[in-house]
Amino acid sequence: RADAAKRLLDAGADANLQDNTGRTPLHAAVAADAMGVFQILLRNRATNLNARMHDGTTPLILAARLAIEGMVEDLINADADINAADNSGKTALHWAAAVNN
């Protein structure tokens, strides 16, 4: 999957295109725990690390909600907005606490 993602990005695919729920490829990589694709998107300058789904979920919030610690750490290190809140007012820290992470 990572090789295909790299080829698509190199060919000009939009790293921030959203589906009908507002999910970007970065959200999808987090949801699938697809670390290879996640790393490629993270290194891609065009990728919006703070993109929001329609419910306000950012990739960092999603990673915290799914308790994927490596992705949480990588997003923080890449300067994702740690204080971003979803539409219910919950930040990544709220979600990490809620899932006992």
Domain-wise residue ranges, the chain: 2-98
Angstrom distance (rounded) from CA 36 to CA 27: 13
Q: Which CATH number fits domain 2-98: 3.30.1330.40, 1.25.40.20, 3.30.565.10, 3.10.20.30?
A: 1.25.40.20
Q: Which residues of the chain have pLDDT under 70?
A: 100-101
Q: DSSP 3-state assignment of 91?
A: strand
- The pLDDT value given to residue 101: 58
pLDDT of 1 reads 76
Among candidates 37, 33, 35, 56, which has minimal Cα distance to 47? Answer: 37
- Rounded-to-integer distance, Cα 42 and Cα 21, Å: 21
pLDDT digits (tens, 9 = 90+) for 50-68: 999 999 999 999 999 999 9
Residue 6 is predicted with a pLDDT of 95
What pTM was computed for the model?
Answer: 0.95
